[in-house]
Chains A and B, each alone.
Chain A
Amino acid sequence: MNKVLRNPWAYGLFVIPALIMYIAIYILPLLSSLQHSFTNWNGINEATFNGLDNFKKAFTDEKFWIAFKNNIIFVLFSAFVQVPIIIFISMVISGVRKNLNFYKTTVFLPSILSTAVVGVLWQFIYHPDVGLINQLLRAIGLESWTHAWLGEESTAFLSILITNSWQWFGFYIVLLLAAIFSVPKELLEAAEMDGAVGLKRSWFITIPIIRPVILVIMLLAITGAMNSLDIVLIMTYGEPFGSSEVMGTYLYKQAYKFNDFGYASAISIIIFAFTVLVTVIFQWIAKRTEEVEH
């Protein structure tokens, strides 16, 4: 293998197809969006240069800021609600003796569904009249707790967050389980002999060791939250009244309903810049807190 890779032609042969795809699907569209973000363009006729107008529009656009705020909430929910729950469930499943594969498979199943399917499925669950949630509430006599989950401002976005978590829990849990099972047994036995059991063992031994994987999961969840589009579009389309709008759906609407591709491109650049910023901050925090060597 080493001989092959030293040969520049062979090296190129391996790298070029992927590089071409990367440039064509990622770099070129990014540059094109960057270029169009400085123009006024309706998608059909010529694009006219308009400087920083689109960015200025974004900063004064109240609806954009609501979308931005929702993205932040999404990120915080992913990092501080989703991830701890994932860690907890992983710990619980890792302690299971029998039928481990059954639990792993069941928990992973939602991740193999396409987002469209998940969105439609949960629309039925949230349906105000015949949905599972409201029917259960009525059956136990809590009629007053029923809501039009996707139709009310106060509950719409949270409902989407819960659905999104449900979809991705399994995926992250399986990743984390692999990490938990790769913790050296000697370490765990030594800890047990020293008197660390159960919760203490998990908190002081296991979690620090699987920390790198936890960080990866957090990063994936955060970047997923930043560029979410499909789940929101399918479940609520950003309604009611833009309360569940995220930057992704806002730019989608600007492009396809208002034909303002210049503004939409500007928003996409803002999403890109902000995601890079969040990632950099995240990496910095991760580096500052120490890693456990073993």
Chain B
Amino acid sequence: MNKKTMLSLTMIMAMSLTATVGCSNKEAAPTDGTSTPKVTEFKVSLRHINVRDTSKPQQDILLEAVKAAETALPGVKYELDGVEDTVNRDTKLKAEMAAGNPPIIFDLFGGPDTQNYQKAGHLLDLTPILADLGLSDKFIDLGEFTVDGKVYGLPRSGYTEGVFYNKTMFADAGVSVPKTWDEFLAVCEVLKGKNIVPIASGTGGPDGWVVNMIANSLFVREAGKEVQEGFVNGTSKWNDPKVIESFKKLETLKTKGYLDKSALALKYAEGQAKFYQGGAAMTMDGSWAVSAFEDKEKSKIAGNVGFFNFPEVGGPGDGYINGGFSNGYGFSSHANENELKGIKEFIKQYYTEALQKKALLTANDFPSMKLQDSSGTTGVLNEVISVTNEAKGIFTAFDSVVQPKVKVTLETTMQELIGGKVTPEKAAEKMQKIQDEANAGK
């Protein structure tokens, strides 16, 4: 062959190679002429958020369920894809939903996320599947994943939020668990006097939601549970005096030096680390953090941490505890027949009493399903469970009630509040302005 032909041939081969690289997998050829039935191999994409070191127990449980499903349903192969939680929720899954091609199974938050994706037609209605598998009554609360009476997601676990504290530091400082806001401030003052950072919080950068845990409990305490729905339906306003009072209380924590002065320089994980490395006496966090605090290898306070409900302020929302069942798995409505089988099998194998109990014991996760037997928990999780049971009731987190725009604005506004950039009154005005826009559908 001459040079010219060689060159052309090489070009064509190189280009066709590049073209075929991006092609998707073909189905396996069926075996022919034998008595074994044709096994179609198919993949089911599964997006999870168990990428942090602290999520290893949840990942083990997921893998166990996936393995059981692959055994029970021949031909299925679940392709797991792990992405960090805020990245999945705010960026990746959103983009996939916008393009109309989410994974078949994916980590999903209830509330506005579920409502928006359902409105765009991407969520699979699970009501018939639940009925088929006999799971319709087995969940404690499906409210956040229900739209117009149909269920579009299944919570993996529940959570409550409150104040975790370092028992040794409290004992050494001679303080006990505070019940009221004034007692809480007094405890902080004593700790500060002993050069201990009273409250750790990693709420810088994208983690404005962390300080919102405190803000949320404060404004519900001051103005009552109904204030949250009230923002959306107009019966309550962010610039109501009670809400402004809650912002003032949050500001006090900063001005008196009770909230870590590095709060805005640290991200969530760093704030947690400060607490469980013994750098601070308290932190406001959710029950999902119990694994990190009780991790014997990483945490200096394992076995030595306690939990109490956010203190009372003398308002209508006292005694309630922030909690909910708002994170779990959703499923794509664009699944084909085989993928639907994969979905159903996954639900059957993952949402079982055995795995829920395992999550409770190994990952310290609050079960989302009703357990016949929840004995065997140790450590601070016991306190979390008993505090939750003693609470007057549960109120759901504000961000599953208000529109996403409002949630995001509270994050930046509360960061500005504790940074001294805005007054409580100004912050309230700002929030109400955005709430009005969101309510008007802008």
Contacts and interface: CB of A to CB of B under 8 A. Distances in A.
Interface residues of B, number: 34
Contacts of B265: 127-128, 148-152, 240
B88 to A, nearest CB: 12
Contacts of A240: 204, 264-265, 415, 419
Nearest to A239: B205
B406 to A, nearest CB: 11
B133 interface: no
Contacts of B262: 128-129, 148, 151
B120 A45 contact: yes
A227 B141 CA distance: 46
B98 interface: yes
A44 B101 CA distance: 12
B261 interface: yes
Interface in A219-263: 236-242, 256-259
B129 interface: no
Interface stretch (B60-68, B89-97, B342-350, B381-389): B89-97
A44 B120 contact: yes
A4 interface: yes
Nearest to A17: B15
B264 A151 contact: yes
Nearest to B100: A44
Interface in B262-308: 262-266, 270, 274, 279
B391 interface: no
A239 B15 contact: no
Q: Taking chain A's interface residues, is the majority helix, strand, or loop, or is none over half, making it mixed? A: loop
Contacts of B205: 236-239
Given A13-B11, A45-B120, A129-B274, A241 B94 contact: no
Contacts of A17: 15, 18
A224 B319 CA distance: 53
A208 interface: no
B234 interface: no
A242 B421 CA distance: 11
Given A44-B97, A149-B265, A257 B90 contact: yes
Contacts, number: 72
B116 interface: yes
Contacts of B412: 241-242
B408 interface: yes
A84 interface: no
A258 B11 contact: no
Interface in B40-54: none
Contacts of B314: none
B29 interface: no
Contact of A127 (B18, B116, B263, B270): B270
A162 to B, nearest CB: 16
Given A151-B204, A237-B205, A256 B266 contact: no
B261 A148 contact: yes
A13 B8 CA distance: 9
Nearest to A257: B408
B416 interface: yes
Interface in B395-425: 404-405, 408, 412, 415-416, 419, 421
A51 interface: no
B315 interface: no
A43 B404 CA distance: 14
Contacts of A238: 205
Nearest to B279: A129
A151 B97 contact: no
A237 B206 CA distance: 6
A241 B205 CA distance: 9
Contacts of A150: 204, 265
Contacts of B266: 128, 151
B7 interface: yes
Nearest to B442: A40
B408 A258 contact: yes
Nearest to A259: B404
B139 to A, nearest CB: 27
A240 B412 CA distance: 9
A274 B415 CA distance: 31
Given A127-B270, A128-B266, A241-B419, A256 B91 contact: yes
Interface string B114-139: 00100010000000000000000000
A258 B270 CA distance: 26
Interface string B3-22: 01001100100010010000
A239 B419 CA distance: 11
Interface string B231-265: 00000000000000000000000000000011111
Contact of B415 (A148, A241, A258): A241
A239 B264 contact: yes
Contacts of B415: 239-241
B53 to A, nearest CB: 15
A290 B95 CA distance: 50
A236 B264 CA distance: 10
Nearest to B416: A241
Contacts of B94: 43, 256, 259
Given A239-B205, A241-B421, A258 B405 contact: yes
Contacts of B261: 148
A45 B147 CA distance: 19
A4 to B, nearest CB: 7
Interface of A: 4, 10, 13, 17, 43-45, 127-129, 148-152, 236-242, 256-259
Interface of B: 4, 7-8, 11, 15, 18, 90-91, 94-95, 97-98, 116, 120, 204-206, 261-266, 270, 274, 279, 404-405, 408, 412, 415-416, 419, 421
Given A45-B120, A257-B404, A257-B408, 17 more contacts: A4-B4, A13-B8, A128-B265, A128-B266, A129-B262, A129-B279, A148-B265, A151-B263, A236-B205, A237-B204, A238-B205, A239-B204, A239-B415, A240-B204, A241-B419, A256-B91, A257-B90
17 contacts: A44-B116, A44-B120, A128-B262, A128-B265, A148-B262, A148-B264, A148-B265, A150-B265, A151-B262, A151-B265, A151-B266, A237-B206, A239-B204, A256-B95, A257-B404, A258-B405, A258-B408
Q: 3 nearest interchain CB pairs?
A: A151-B265, A148-B265, A237-B205
